Amino acid sequence: MTPEFKTRQIDAQPILGVRTTTTMDKLATIMGALFGEIYGHIQQSGQQPAGMPLAIYHAMDGNTVELECAMPVSSPMEGTDRIRPGELPAGTVATVTHIGSYDDLGGTWTALVQWIESNELQPAHAPWEVYITDPGAEPDPSKWRTDIFFPVQGGC
């Protein structure tokens, strides 16, 4: 399946998240634990997430990544010392859907960045991934869906 790159407008989305720094090889383990912690806090508050888990990529330096694991909520809510309220920004995003293993996400990211550059768009905020498919419910990685969003400005 050939990836379809496009831009679209999105509304701001309140989130609850935990920001951390890790290495790429520990990403999957850390993300699972953080998503569980955030989900537990939302449930203890008597609410449910307003969408699927996501990861905001604030910075990458070689094998080190600074990211925020988060879950969307229907309205801003209190956090804890670790779990902080935040917001995905409203505006224009370049977006693409990745179908397949998380191990292959790098190629889709590279292609999206190239598409952004070829369309004379400029990054505006930290990009994020939304994990549409729960690997616990779908064991076949070839069926996993991840939506990538990269806030941008400018263009032809």
List the CATH number of the domain containing 98: 3.20.80.10
> Does the residue 1 lie in any domain?
no
Between the CA atoms of 38, 97, 126 and 115, what dihedral angle is there, to the nearest 10 degrees? 170
Domain count, the chain: 1
> Does the residue 99 lie in any domain?
yes
| Residues pairing with 146 in the sheet | 98, 131
* Domain span including residue 142: 6-154
Instruction: Note the pLDDT tens digit of each residue in 91-147.
Output: 999 999 999 999 899 999 999 999 999 999 999 999 999 999 998 899 999 999 999
> Does the residue 23 lie in any domain?
yes
Question: Does the predicted TM-score (pTM) go above 0.85?
Answer: yes
